[in-house]
Chains A and B, each alone.
Chain A
Amino acid sequence: MNLNKRLVLLLFPIILFGYGIATFFVYQYQKSSVIELEQAKLEQRMFQLQSVFKEESSAVDNAMALFLEGGYLSDFLTSASSSYRDIALSQGLNVLTSQILSNKPNSRLSFALYNGSGDELFYYERSADPFATISNEQFGVTQKMIAHHITSSWELFHNSSDISVVKGRLLDRVALLPFKGRDINDSVQLSFAVRMDQFSEYLATLEQSYNATLVWSNQILPVENVFAHSIQLSPNQFLTIKPNASVLARPLLNLRIQLIFVAFFLGVITYGLLIYLISRFITAPISALDNELTQVMEYQKENISPTESRSEIGQLSKKFYVLFEQLQNNLKKTHEMAITDTLTSLPNRFRFYEYAKSALIKAEQDKRFVSLIYIDLDNFKFVNDKLGHEAGDDLLCFLANDLQRLIKPILQSQGGCMVSRLSGDEFAIVLTHKVAVDEADDLAQSVVALFERGYQSDHYYFPVSASMGIATYPADGHNLKELIANADMAMYNAKRSGKNRYKHYSENIASAARRTKSIETQLKMIDCDKEFSLVYMPYTSANMQIKGFEVLIRWHSAELGEIHPDEFIPIAEQTGTYAKIDHWVFETAFKSLPKIRDIFGEECVLSINISAAELGHHVVLDRLIELKEQYGIEDKSIELELTETFSYVQTSSVFDVLNGLQKAGFSIAIDDFGVGYTPLLHMIDYPVDKVKLDKVLTERVTNPEYAKLLPALIELCHLQDIVVTAEGIENTSQYKNLREAGCDFFQGYWLSKPMTLDELENWYYVYSNKGNL
């Protein structure tokens, strides 16, 4: 039930009760007034009745007086009895009664004349009934007067159906004076009677309207009921009207109806007014507030309208306003948090998508370009591993600031630029520009410049760089998905192309990526025995004896043709197929070892490259040990070559794995020594048995200019009990220089190019016969 309905229901009984009580008391008070009023009315009407009586009864007095003055009686008495005499008297009485009853043509006035013997001499009646005879009352008066010699009489009769008044005279027949004689025959008796029609009618009206009891009495009645009234009609005749009590019921009912009507009317007005006022000033504001809240909840409005009202509703409104404002702020913050990277305060990936989408839509309309610059830090993992996550975070924060700083001038001049952090060490810049490439290039170049000499924060120096890929709308893609994929592709290309650079997406990059993709696919479903093969590259000791072979993998793909390991190994490493390849290489090499030893002697060693990426896992260690046992390989028969890059992934686990391998009877060699970043320290700390001088180093140090360095370098290794192999020896002169400098083993095309297992026996036959041995 809403408030208004409840209000309607609540107010109704209150108003009803209130006005009911008030009406009741007013009624009680007014009731006595009504009774008094009715009594006064009754008295007034009784007074009126009395007047009517007097007026109507006066007719007999007037008639008698006029009749006696008019001389009609003497004319009649002196004339002989005839119709003429009768007509004359009748005419006289007509004139007389017409005068008296001029305004009451229907009144009944009668005249009777009797002689002393009681015989009727004349009877006249003015009425509509020509056959009427003298009434009993009038006759009674006549006879009584004659019998008792009463000279004058006035009587009121009310017992019969008609009320009448009779006035009579008993006169001397000759003198026409009141009869004083003894012989009644000398007298005449005359009387006038009037039927009290008006009085009766009025009385009947009263009787009916009051439903009254009429009481005729000889004396005034004692007052026993307030609501009654008496009037005197003759000296000894009183008429009392006692209205029925029910008569009061009607005015009281009227009063009740009136009061109820007034109360109802006032009640309705009050009720309506209250409902209007309450709804106007209380429920309507609540309802308005409710509406506003609904709108706010349905997101049609941001907040309700602020109000200045001091009422409770106003206060409530204000509080809602404040509450919503807080909620809004919180929501904004939450939203900001949702689209902001907490570490760097840069927009996050979510925001990046949002922004990039809208930028593309806008660019489409404005015919502009949008470039997506994907930034990926090179060697960031190294920072985290080496310097800790705090330092990594420090780097990211600093870089975020620098990137913001870089785009600031762009923002100020043309807007349309945003830098965001996508994840980890990935950043992206969205740039809207007018000219096809320049601006994106400038920006990318300035990012590259940040890393010119590594990267410096307040507390740290980071040996990192950035690889970037740029894809530009509309040339490099029409939607965000394409652009992201292409920028990413370009970024990876940059990374593979040597890091710390940026690459525009191009068809070449795309086809390179496609090739990478197909290599990846092929690797996943490769039958190793069918497509892979091993080749063996020999190395000698100083006395030209074959001491071992570096095992190299060859891939002849049915689909793609010959693929160099430099191309597919990194792909295998990234896609996780390297373990399969490694396993095949080791197993195949282990299988071939007995045959090789049959040819080249029991001390011949196989050197196998192992991916640095695998060294973090004990699984590698277990698997190698298992394979070694399976094929019954003696200790020191297998040498594992690590490329220098392992240095960057060194961890305690790598260290453990290397130690484990050494204990298991594997020798450890460092490959490509001299061109990478291998710190000297590694040679001290690590369980290394051998280093292999890189081809470039070999070439350089065999040059007479640097010849002095070579013995020292080798001596240094020997001091650590590390033997040294020189790679990439191309001629005998180099070999001689290296042998003189104390190098232990020698490998290169000067000796042989890599050979298949089947070729080895032949080659060895030729080699032996050349007299090298």
Chain B
Amino acid sequence: MKKLRMIATSHLGSFFLYTSLVLSFDAHSQQPTLNILNWDDYLSEQTINEWEKLNDSKIRLITYDNEDMRDLLLTDTKQHQIDLAIVDVQSANKLANLGYLFDLNVAQFKGNIEPKWLETCGDHAVPYLWGTLGIAYRTDKVTSPVDSWADLFSSRQDLKGHIAMLGDYYGLSAPALIHLNLSPYTDKEQDLKKMYELLKQQSDDVLTYDYAPSYLLDAENKDDMYAAVVYSGDQYTMNDSIGKDVWKYVLPKESSFLWLDCWVIPANSEKKVLAQSFIDYIGRADVAAANSESIGVATVDLRAYQLQSSEMREDELIYPSQEVLDGLYSFQMLSDANIRKRIRIQEAIKVIHESK
């Protein structure tokens, strides 16, 4: 899960900018170009290069750093440029239900993908990588570890003004709800109100609601961020962007949740065949193994897992033990009304934060 480099921090701004850029793209392209909507740093160079050679095609990566933005793009009926996209499992199902996705008839991809992942992604999506939501913190800035959600919500003195929260409705709400010992899927008004009060109170301590790796690339005060809510694997990008190996990823004590990303082909893509060939290519065990190891995120392919180095496989932050996995929340769809409420809360929190 990486970010959209070309898109600026403002959601709306990025949205409009993005559209125009993509439209101007194909006009002077001679080779067939596959436009992939992806997080930044979420597909290894090697994979891209080899596929390009193999297919005599070009891959153009269009990156995003906010799931809501991505969904707006994928549901915009006027655009036809995205050929392939990586979406979280919930969106994959929802987009499929709304008819925004090409039916991949996934049943035919027997391969080696772990069945539970296959099942979760549904018929219109192919599993790619999985991981956890956790906290990354600067080991050189804080004296005691930031290893629980409570650390982010209890006004820890050394973190005041140094916290980065996720800005999308789920990434913002889930940690707060888990900290409040409530279900991250709840749609009870009173639970959401409690969550809102907590977030409102926390907003004093928050440095930014932008995706932490993006913030570190753009902002001048990179060293002001001491702790951030991130997806596993983000710590590598973050260390790269500040040139120091100081960010440490931890899974919060209170529990967290699993995520799973899937490949989807938008229904109005004009290069569905090429896109499908890429999905086939990335589904090869050797390719998947190398790609996964290259970016440091767990693969869904059982054979690919076996091909990976023991170092990778034994890294509990990448492949948590079954015991840990059992304690994590898994995927569950939220109702539209629930989403709507959370969006309003997220917007209000940002209004409050901006007004400070």
Contact = CB atoms under 8 A, between A and B. Distances in A.
Interface of A: 79-88, 90-91, 94-95, 105-106, 125-131
Interface in B332-346: 336, 339-341, 343-345
B288 to A, nearest CB: 30
21 contacts: A80-B99, A82-B98, A82-B336, A83-B339, A83-B343, A84-B75, A84-B98, A86-B336, A87-B68, A87-B72, A87-B339, A87-B343, A88-B72, A125-B344, A126-B347, A127-B348, A128-B348, A130-B196, A130-B348, A131-B196, A131-B344
Nearest to B15: A91
Most buried by A among B11, B76, B336, B345: B336
Interface in B319-356: 336, 339-341, 343-345, 347-348, 351-352, 354-355
A80 B98 contact: yes
Contact of A106 (B15, B192, B345, B355): B355
Most buried by B among A80, A91, A94: A91
Most buried by B among A84, A91, A128: A84
Contacts of B11: 91
A105 B348 CA distance: 11
Contacts of B98: 80, 82, 84
A130 B345 CA distance: 5
A125 B348 CA distance: 9
B189 interface: yes
B71 interface: yes
Nearest to A98: B12
B12 A130 contact: no
Contact of A105 (B336, B345, B354): B354
B156 interface: no
A130 B194 CA distance: 12
Nearest to A95: B12
Contacts of A82: 75, 94, 98, 336
A79 B75 CA distance: 9
Given A84-B94, A128-B348, A130-B344, 9 more contacts: A83-B343, A91-B11, A91-B12, A105-B354, A126-B347, A130-B196, A130-B345, A130-B348, A131-B344
Judged by DSSP, the binding face of B is helix
A428 B11 CA distance: 140
Contact of A130 (B94, B99, B336, B347): B347
Nearest to B16: A95
B336 A128 contact: no
Contacts of A129: 348
B12 A105 contact: no
Interface residues of B, number: 29
A537 B94 CA distance: 198
A91 B72 contact: yes
A172 B164 CA distance: 46
B308 to A, nearest CB: 36
Contacts of A130: 196, 341, 344-345, 347-348
Interface in B180-229: 189, 192-193, 196
Given A105-B354, A129-B348, A83 B340 contact: yes
Interface string B298-318: 000000000000000000000
Contacts of A126: 347, 351
A128 B339 contact: no
A91 B11 CA distance: 8
Interface of B: 11-12, 15, 68, 71-72, 75-77, 94, 98-99, 189, 192-193, 196, 336, 339-341, 343-345, 347-348, 351-352, 354-355
A81 B355 contact: no
Most buried by B among A82, A85, A105: A82
A86 B343 contact: yes
B71 A87 contact: yes
A633 B200 CA distance: 167
Contacts of B75: 79, 82, 84-85, 88
A209 B35 CA distance: 64
A42 to B, nearest CB: 33
A128 B343 contact: no
Given A84-B98, A86-B336, A87-B68, A128 B351 contact: yes
Nearest to B350: A94
A95 B344 CA distance: 14
A80 B100 CA distance: 11
A127 to B, nearest CB: 7
Contacts of B68: 87
A94 B343 contact: no
A84 B12 CA distance: 14
Contacts of A79: 75, 77
Nearest to A92: B12
A85 B339 CA distance: 12
Nearest to A84: B75
B340 A86 contact: yes
A481 B246 CA distance: 128
Given A87-B68, A130-B344, A131-B189, A94 B12 contact: yes
A82 B193 CA distance: 23
A84 B72 contact: yes
A126 B344 CA distance: 9
Contacts of B347: 90, 94, 126, 130
Contacts of A87: 68, 71-72, 339, 343
Contacts of B193: 131
Nearest to A91: B12
Contacts of A86: 336, 339-340, 343
A81 B340 CA distance: 12
A95 B16 CA distance: 11
Contacts of A94: 12, 347
Contacts of B192: 131
A528 B65 CA distance: 169
Contacts of B12: 91, 94-95
A105 B354 CA distance: 8
Nearest to B344: A130
Contacts of A85: 75
Nearest to B352: A128
A91 B286 CA distance: 42
Nearest to B100: A84
B72 A105 contact: no
A95 B72 CA distance: 15
Most buried by A among B77, B341, B344: B344
A88 B339 CA distance: 13
A130 B344 CA distance: 5
Contacts of B196: 130-131
A429 to B, nearest CB: 121
A94 B16 CA distance: 14
B260 to A, nearest CB: 20
A65 B26 CA distance: 35
A127 B352 CA distance: 9
A90 B69 CA distance: 12
B219 to A, nearest CB: 21
A106 B348 CA distance: 10
Nearest to B196: A130
A126 B341 CA distance: 13
Contact of A84 (B71, B189, B355): B71
A711 to B, nearest CB: 172
Contacts of A127: 348, 351
